A = this chain, B = another copy of it.
């Protein structure tokens, strides 16, 4: 149940509406946890019902309104509980590794497309994460700025250090995935060469 805790954690920075949260979960928060509106809105309702959030209904224009959520005492307790409990590590279940393990069932060309997709996906996110890390280091991220307000300098440094630690983990992961995809593409080239010219492949190995 991480979505719930991600919502609690974001709401510690400032009270906000479901719409605001949806934007963050499409923006910077999506760099560690993504969630669609159809999941966020009902979850906020449930959390408010369970007393983890306080709600203020604010008028907007003539007829419309919005619900401003803020974290309650109970919500803070729950957040602390989550932060202090060890979350058990889960067994592996990686669909891309699974496909790779059975690549003999694919054409070389299609296998290559999958690995290129893999490489490009992580290259894209690597660039995003790197930019985010720079922005965090320069304290240029709006949500982070709100979170740092009114904290001591030491607290600010610690908060920033944890964010950097988390996203540097994503960066290292992305780099490992890119390297893996490239090794796979190299392997496919070797296999193709070996299939096309058996003698040369024999000599090469």
Contact = CB atoms under 8 A, between A and B. Distances in A.
A180 B97 CA distance: 21
Interface residues of A, number: 73
Interface of A is mostly: helix
B95 A2 contact: yes
A101 B34 contact: no
A187 B159 CA distance: 12
A81 B89 CA distance: 32
Interface stretch (A15-23, A51-59, A60-68, A170-178): A170-178
Contacts of A45: none
Per CB-CB distance, the 8 closest pairs between chain A and chain B, nearest first, are A101-B166, A83-B106, A83-B105, A89-B121, A100-B166, A34-B91, A84-B110, A103-B162
A173 B170 contact: no
